[in-house]
Amino acid sequence: MWRPSVAGPRGYRVVENADAFDIARIRPDETAVVVGAFGPFLKALRGIGARHFVLEKDPATLRPDEMGHFRPAESYPRIVPQADVLLITGTTLVNDSLPGLIACARPEARVVLVGPTVPMLPDAFLDRRGMILGTVRVADAEALHEVLAQGGSGYHFFGKYAPRIVLAQD
């Protein structure tokens, strides 16, 4: 359940216990492009029936029923401009592919940058209209570290040790 929003920087609000996918409000008639094999997003897109593509460097990370949506990562200049909503994993910050992806997006496209690697010092992203940042707020660093050390993932720590938060435009 979402908690009420609080004021964020420069016309943004912080929504606690929220999922960036839900805040993006993707409609069945829209095209989504997912950068990275982000399983929960792919499942949700199938559930709403939205046309979508998955840009991925390693197709082995996709399940067989997702392969019909697969496009090689290097095809992004042709695929990203089709997006009404561009869903990007924060890993693109690490591998330096984020600037090229955003440069290809249509100005009116909603861009969702999501994952624990997304910084919550958002000034670099807030000048782009339609940007939504989804990450976590570490509530119990010691417990979170223990879960990660044991090979845990978001399913094991979301809501317990690191609640999800979203930074979205007002």
pLDDT digits (tens, 9 = 90+) for 66-111: 999 999 999 999 999 999 999 998 888 888 888 899 999 999 999 9
Q: Using CA atoms, how far apart are residues 121 and 10, in angstroms rounded to an integer?
A: 12
Give the pLDDT confidence score for residue 2 in this predicted structure.
Answer: 44
Distance CA 36, CA 14 (A): 25
H helix runs in the chain, sequence order: 20-24, 39-48, 76-79, 91-94, 98-104, 141-149, 154-157
pLDDT digits (tens, 9 = 90+) for 7-28: 555 667 788 888 889 989 999 9
**CB-CB contact of 134 with 115 (8 Å):** yes
Tell me what pLDDT residue 130 has: 67
Task: Report the top-level CATH class of 8-169.
Answer: alpha beta
CB contact at 8 A, 7 and 13: yes
* Other Cβ atoms within 10 Å of 34 Cβ, number: 25
Domains of the chain: which residue ranges?
8-169
Average pLDDT over residues 145-151: 84
Amino acid at 86: L
Question: What is the model's pTM?
Answer: 0.83
> Where is average pLDDT lowest: 109-118, 131-140, 148-157?
148-157
CB 32 within 8 A of CB 52: yes
Under the banding of pLDDT at 50, 70 and 90, the label for residue 119 is: low
